[in-house]
Amino acid sequence: MSKVSVYRLPTPNFNNRELLLLSLTHKSLGANNNERMEFLGDAILDMIVSDYLYYSLPKAKEGQLSIVRSNIVSAKNLSHYFFAADFKDKVMLQKGVDVTLNIAANYVEAIIGAIYLDKGYNEAKNYIMPVIKESYLLFKGEIKDSKSKLQELMQKKGKPLPIYDIVKKEGQDHKQTFTVSCKIYDNESIAQCNTIQNATKKAAQLILNKIEKNENSKR
């Protein structure tokens, strides 16, 4: 995606400009920073993307929707839009702190949170929707379940295939909950769902999320 021109996020107009300044302030500068806005923006972005995918992919299953959403809201994807954004040169952080993929994505989420606080949900949605639509076109063809993706990744790395185990089964026959673990060579995750198949997919996705986070932290 870095080789493709992406939508350029503008610097939003704020009624309360202090919210904009705070959204651009990294925690390295002290306690008055954008972490709370990032927390809020992350939740709002998840909601907007989930709503968009629900109606855009009416035949997709829960696990497939989760895969597309995780790609759209990933640090890797959001960072592309940060580095193309009008406000990228206005961010404030301590000298010597590099803007990693995670930090870049956090700025985008903080901006969303700030717009929500200043003008409400619809304004935040309108601001980020071009990013969501563009990202959706890129990732909608990658509806591959997380178990398949994790297996392919392990094969690519030359590592043993994931091992899945049923840790616990609870509830009556008509309403059971399954707890499943997923183990790879250096990590493990546990997930619950109402079917073994969905629980294994969720566990695999958790491992994929951990791998992505670890790789992003090294950049």
- The owner of tokens 């704020």 is 14
195 pLDDT above the threshold of 50? yes
Residue 56 pLDDT grade (very low, low, confident, very high; cuts 50, 70, 90): very high
18, 38, 42, 86: the catalytic one is 42
The predicted-structure confidence for 157-190, as pLDDT tens digits, reads as follows 999 999 999 999 998 877 889 999 999 998 999 9
Mean pLDDT of 88-104: 91
Specify the pairing of strand 175-184 against strand 163-172: antiparallel
pTM above 0.85?
A: no
What is the chain's mean pLDDT, rounded? 91
109 is catalytic: yes
Say how far apart CA 189 and CA 146 lie, in whole Å.
Answer: 13
Mean pLDDT of 28-44: 96
Say how far apart CA 34 and CA 107 lie, in whole Å.
Answer: 8
The predicted-structure confidence for 114-149, as pLDDT tens digits, reads as follows 999 999 999 999 999 999 999 999 888 767 778 888
* Structural domains of the chain sorted by starting position, each given as residue range(s) with its CATH number in brackets: 17-142 (1.10.1520.10), 146-217 (3.30.160.20)
62 is catalytic: no
Cα-based torsion angle of the residue sequence 14, 16, 17, 20 in order, rounded to the nearest 10 degrees: -70
- Specify the DSSP element, H or E, that contains 114: helix 101-119
46, 51, 109, 186: the catalytic one is 109
Give the CA radius of gyration of the chain.
19
